[in-house]
Structure 1
Amino acid sequence: MFFMLLAFVLIYRYFTIHTYNFVLLILIVLTILILLFYMISILSIYYIYKYNGRNKIIRNFAGTGMRALLPFSIFLADIFKTKKDLLRKFYIDFNNAMVNASGRRYLPKNVLILLPHCLQYSECGYKITNNTENCRRCGRCSIGKILKIAEEREVEVCIVTGGTAARNIVKRINPELIFAVACERDLTSGIVEVGKIPVIGLINDRPNGPCYNTTVDVESLKQRLDEILEV
């Protein structure tokens, strides 16, 4: 919008009245189309989020609109000093609704569970980011329970230290669906970055602050995992 206004000022300053009127008409039409796009996007997002609609055209339009609205919404949140995590949580919930609305189920071998290393008990002496078999499943953190659930369903689990490690693993394994546990910021950026790979996001709990002895609702993880697995 800023660049459109800038173009309008330059044209007004340096071009004839006929050129000015023509370009002004184009700008008006473009503005109407942009506003129409956002209006339809908002209605599509509401339809998917509220009614879990399975219409593919509406889902595609809602997804495109959400990706376009998210950066602008985060920008406004910065300006008005509001909590960006609320917007991110809505985006994650909407993304999950989009994946569920597709109605598709996935074979366990095509699903990847990504867990953040901050789920691990901070005083644990075993390194599990490269090898989950090192986990002793002592019960001090939720990772042991998640590994048991994944083993029973034959789903691969990777524990990552950050976004770069997660991207490398996704590129190497190339799953058809990712089940990710992380904070709102990491989940949002991850969903955007993986592009066409569907992601089910589950926000972790942070009773001790960010990135330290975090937890997750294991029963909710189990339930959501069973909802997308093909039996």
Structure 2
Amino acid sequence: MSNVETSVEASPEVTIPPRKLGDTWDGWAGEVEENRGDLETSPWYFLTFATTVLVALTALVWTAMFLIEPRLNELPVWLNRTVLMSVWGVLSAVNLMFALVVLTVATGKNFVPFMKGRHIALSGIIPWTIKAGKIFGLSKDRIANSVLQVGNRLTTVNQAMIERDELLILLPRCLDKQTRDEIKMVTSKYDVDFHICAGGQMARQLLTEKKPKGVIAVACERDLMAGVQDVKAAVPVIAIANKRPEGPCRNTLINMTEMENAIRMYLGKELLPVDKPLLEQN
């Protein structure tokens, strides 16, 4: 297999508006990012804030039900019970599913087979979790990184082994030369291809043409979240957020152990020891 920098025309069949990688940084004033652009964050931050949001939502719903109880009592008994059971059922299902996500992240065992073919970044709770995180001083990008860490773990436990030619690796153009060289060495070691893409439109076309059974995507947190939301997680994705010591869209780099482990996971090989722990936000 050969490693190639892909340059293709936009497909006329794609109806999603074109989006270049880096568009999510429009308006960036050039300020230095926190921790010099290394925003690797524990998945437990997202899980903690999401749990807080769900508890608050559950309390709000039951408070509303208590306030309208006199009106509900005016309904026929069967209708009153149907409303109460429906509300209880929906809340119980949502909380149970999230509890199973937490249990999966904590144990590494698959309690979430229903998440196969889905991505946690598509959850409607994300905007509320970001707001909760900001209250405690975590940036949107920090929370996004934590969300992607959770998504990677859910993908890993649900993923079966695939063949080398069924794996699609998507890289941004902003990686520095040393990182590109290291990626070439790693992908050559496992005889897999990578493609350097200029934008989301190109990535979507590669997905259409290659029809992969697994994807490794490298970009900033903003582009990774936008990409997952664009394609609706049609295939399993391991998202690797780049590190940006010089700011976004130039001379970025990644943790190569994370890249190699993503490849090994898809190919059914034992994972390597992680070089360093996830950065924890104090």
* TM-score using structure 1 length: 0.71
Q: Distance in 2 between matches of 1:144 and 1:220?
A: 16
The answer to whether residue 254 in structure 2 is matched with residue 200 in structure 1 is: no
The answer to whether residue 170 in structure 2 is matched with residue 114 in structure 1 is: yes
Bigger drift between 154-163 and 220-229 goes to: 220-229
Look up the match of 1:188: 225
Q: 1:35 to 1:96 in 2, by over 3 A?
A: same
Q: 1:41 to 1:70 in 2, by over 3 A?
A: farther
CA drift at 1:50:
0.7
Q: In the alignment, is the contact (CA less than 8 A) between 2:216 and 2:262 conserved in 1?
A: no
Q: 1:164 to 1:171 in 2, by over 3 A?
A: same
**Partner SS for 1:141:** helix
- The residue correspondences of 1:1-231 to structure 2 (distance < 5 A) are 18=74, 26-55=82-111, 58-60=112-114, 66=120, 67-74=123-130, 82-102=138-158, 104-119=160-175, 121=176, 140-192=177-229, 193-230=231-268
CA drift at 1:152:
3.0
1:218 aligned partner, one-letter code: M
> Which consecutive unaligned segments of at least 5 residues does structure 1 have?
122-139
Q: Distance in 1 between matches of 2:134 and 2:116?
A: 24
Bigger proportion of residues as helix:
1
CA drift at 1:76:
5.0
Bigger drift between 185-194 and 46-55 goes to: 185-194
1:91 aligned partner, one-letter code: V
2:114 aligned partner, one-letter code: N
CA drift at 1:189:
2.9
Larger radius of gyration: 1
Deviations 1:110-143 (A, max 9, x none): 0011101111x4xxxxxxxxxxxxxxxxxx3311
Q: In the alignment, is the contact (CA less than 8 A) between 1:160 and 1:166 conserved in 2?
A: yes
**Partner SS for 1:181:** strand
CA drift at 1:194:
4.3
**Partner SS for 1:213:** coil
* Matched positions, count: 202
Q: Distance in 2 between matches of 1:105 and 1:79?
A: 41
Q: 1:64 to 1:215 in 2, by over 3 A?
A: closer
Give the number of the structure with larger relative contact order, counting CA–CA contacts within 8 Å between residues 6 or more apart.
2
Q: 1:211 to 1:27 in 2, by over 3 A?
A: farther
Q: Distance in 2 between matches of 1:161 and 1:108?
A: 23
Deviations 1:85-130 (A, max 9, x none): 23222221112111221352221110011101111x4xxxxxxxxx
**Partner SS for 1:196:** coil
> How much is the aligned-residue C-alpha RMSD, in angstroms?
3.5
CA drift at 1:20:
9.1
Q: Distance in 2 between matches of 1:63 and 1:45?
A: 15
CA drift at 1:155:
1.2
Q: In the alignment, is the contact (CA less than 8 A) between 1:106 and 1:230 conserved in 2?
A: yes
Q: 1:84 to 1:22 in 2, by over 3 A?
A: farther
